[in-house]
Amino acid sequence: MSEDVFIIGAGIHPFGRTPGLSGLQQGVFAVRQALERAGLAWRDVQFAFGGSDAAGNADTMVSELGLTSIPFINVANGCATGGSAMFGAYSTIKSGEFDLGLAVGFDKHPRGSFSPLPADWGLPDWYGETGLMLTTQFFAMKIQRYMSLYGITPHTLGAVAEKAFANGVLADHAWRREAVDMDTILHSQMVSDPLTKFMFCSPGEGAVALLLASGRKARELGLPAVRLRAAAVRTRPPGSFEVFSPALDLERGGSPTSVASQAAYDMAGVGPEDIDIAQLQDTEAGAEIMHMAENGFCADGEQTAWIAEGRTRIDGSLPVNTDGGCLACGEPIGASGLRQVYENYVQLIGQAGARQAPGRLRLGYSHVYGAPGVSAVAIVER
Amino acid sequence: MPDTLPVPIADGLICPETEGNALFASRERATNRLCFPARPEDDPRYERVLLPRTGRLWSWTIQRFRPKSPPYAGPEAFEPYAVGYVDLDGALIVEGRLVDVAFDDLAIGMAMRVVPLPFEMTDGTLRTSFGFAPDKGVGA
């Protein structure tokens, strides 16, 4: 019988830009905050998984946190770094090897878009040289086709961004904390048609730390806890449409998100209709729309009505991206997936402050997606 | 490739015998699956094939800002350009620049064909890349 796994504490370094602190230092800040809120000390932590995409080696934070000789495993898994760190911590506790551990993710990216090198992604130089290797183009072309197939309009894209910034105003860890109106969103600079500047998130900075414990340990500590019912990381199936693809198979298939989502529902023994709150990858406004369907919450095309009716707002029937998501928080790659789990944790234990979703929240769902086609889904239960 | 076209931007990308109007791909012998760009010619698991020269626009966008260098190696001066995926008749959906078309005229499903695309590198030299242009001979 494998162990139940609980999240018993969480810390966050505010997202955005913090010129005085390295990404690693923001990671240390998040770990200290998680420990302090839980009333625990670093010496109580038996193991750690952590990582960043561009801000250094997580395990070097022991020089600041304390030389307790614990195993500290660095995770480098691109956009799924945070999700993979949590999966590592989850599996370790589930196996019974340890009963209290840490998952930490942090990052610090320079301004502007990411600048990937073709060789790092197994692609020829010409693909980058001729201006085809941009994540923004991929997201724009995925939603462009989706809008054409399912009759979704730019107004629905704008409504998603408007909601994100409205939620960000209420989230003390968000980067963008000013509301942006629909007109401004729709008429801001076009970045990659049909997506404007305010429909895209920006690479940024931030850090998140989660403390995970076995059921026995969680009961012993008596802290506010949520049970991690599922943690699934999945790579792309045949026929998916991914970032950095010079060509796509004619026969279209599922997505890493649909596969990870199904795996997580199976692990948890629940379905999308049971979920009370969701944090979905919103690299841009269209991604949130498509991911609502890929994660099973609605059928393709139903998003127009869902969003017009406000069903994904904080006071709606399925609040989505209650802290403003990537659009309001920015995207520090290593921290982004853990921020979603942090948000579900504080929502489920009723400590989300001004952005607290109403009613009893039992099941929280989080989904991160990134290059070159990887998704991580977690389901937590209060 | 005729004398009028500059040196290809990569080997094994554009078929020289078609005046730049067709792209190479590889067919995996075991599965028949096509892949683009083509694999190295000496890989025995694949055979080199030519992709169809025409197809339909599958999706598109406009690149409105100059991409970062590296990897982008175009000129410093920047003009927005269109990018899209074209479903090459029953073979593969291939990504490339869209040329000879006004941005406002782009529409999913429009007929397209492969064309050679002179590409100016940052240092001013010219290379031949590929793009897709509206296939005027075919009705939308």
Task: List, in sequence order, the alpha helices (H) in chain A.
Answer: 23-38, 62-65, 81-94, 125-129, 135-150, 154-169, 182-187, 215-221, 256-268, 285-294, 303-308, 325-329, 333-348
Sort out which chain B residues have CB atoms less than 8 A from A246's CB and list them: 36-37, 94-95
Cross-chain CB nearest to B64 (options A144, A191, A246): A191
Q: List pLDDT tens digits, range A308-362.
A: 999 999 999 999 999 999 999 999 999 999 999 999 999 999 999 999 999 999 9
Sort out which chain B residues have CB atoms less than 8 A from A198's CB and list them: none
**Nearest-Cα residue of chain A relative to residue B78:** A131
CATH architecture assigned to A5-110+207-381:
3-Layer(aba) Sandwich (3.40)
Give the residue extent of every domain in chain A. 5-110+207-381
**Contact criterion met (CB < 8 Å) for A144 and B59:** yes
Sort out which chain B residues have CB atoms less than 8 A from A194's CB and list them: 61
Q: Tell me phi and psi for residue B15, to 5 degrees.
A: -75, 120
Sort out which chain B residues have CB atoms less than 8 A from A144's CB and list them: 59-61, 108
pLDDT over threshold 80, residue B20 = no
**Contact criterion met (CB < 8 Å) for B72 and A191:** no
pLDDT over threshold 60, residue A303 = yes
B9, B35, B83, best to mutate vs chain A, most A CBs in 10 Å: B83
Cross-chain CB nearest to B61 (options A129, A140, A247): A140
CA–CA distance from A17 to each of A111, A325, A326 (Å)? 10, 16, 14
Q: List pLDDT tens digits, range A57-95.
A: 999 999 999 999 999 999 988 888 999 999 999 999 999
Give pLDDT, residue A80: 85
pLDDT over threshold 80, residue A2 = no
pLDDT over threshold 70, residue B140 = no
Q: List pLDDT tens digits, range A23-42.
A: 999 999 999 999 999 999 99
Q: List pLDDT tens digits, range A175-197.
A: 999 999 999 999 999 999 999 99
The closest of A4, A3, A35 to A223, measured between CA atoms, is: A35
Q: pLDDT: is A79 or B62 the higher one? A: B62
Which residues 36-75 of B have a C-beta within 8 angstroms of A? 36-37, 58-65, 67-74
Which residues 83-122 of B have a C-beta within 8 angstroms of A? 83-85, 87, 90-97, 103, 108, 119, 121
pLDDT (average), residues B70-98: 96
